[in-house]
Structure 1
Amino acid sequence: MTADIAKVRVGLDERSYDILIGSGLVARAGAEIVDRLGKVRAMIVTDENVAAAHLEALQASLLHAGIEHATHVLPTGETTKSFAHLEATVEAILAARLERGDIVIAFGGGVIGDLAGFAAGVVRRGMRFVQLPTSLLAQVDSSVGGKTGINSRHGKNLVGVFHQPRLVLADTDVLNTLSEREFRAGYAEVVKYGLIDKPEFFVWLEKNWHQVFSGGDARKQAIAISCQAKADVVGRDEFETGDRALLNLGHTFGHALEAFCAYDSARLVHGEGVAIGMALAHRFSTRLNLASSDDASRVEAHLRAVGLPTCIDEIPGMKPTAEALLTYIMQDKKVSRGALTFILTRGIGQCFIARDVPSSEVLAFLEQSLER
Structure 2
Amino acid sequence: MSVTMPAFLALLFCFCLPDGNNYREGLVPKTILVEHTEQNIMLSDVFVLSGFTLMETGRKYPLRGMNKILFEDENLYILDNGTDFQNIWVVDEKTGRFTGRIGEQGSTPDAYEGLNDIVLHDGRIACSVAAKMSVVHYDKTGNATGTMKTGIFGEELEYMPGDRLVVYNEYNATPVSGNYHLLFYDRKGNLTKKAFPYAAKQDGNGFAFTGSISNSNGTVWFNPPFSDTVYEITSAGRTIPRFVYDFGSSAIPATLREEKLSGWDTHDYAYVNENFISLGRFVLFGYFSNRRIKLGVFDEFTGKFLAFQDAERDHLYELLQLGDIFPKDNHTFALVLRPSRIEYLKQHYIDDLESVGKVYPKLAEAIWSMDSGSNPLILYLSFLPGASIGDQ
Instruction: Give the number of the structure with larger relative contact order, counting CA–CA contacts within 8 Å between residues 6 or more apart.
Output: 2
The answer, yes or no, to whether TM exceeds 0.5 is no
Report the TM range for the smaller structure's normalisation.
under 0.3
Q: Which has the larger radius of gyration?
A: 2
* Structure number with higher helix proportion: 1
TM-score by length of 2: 0.26
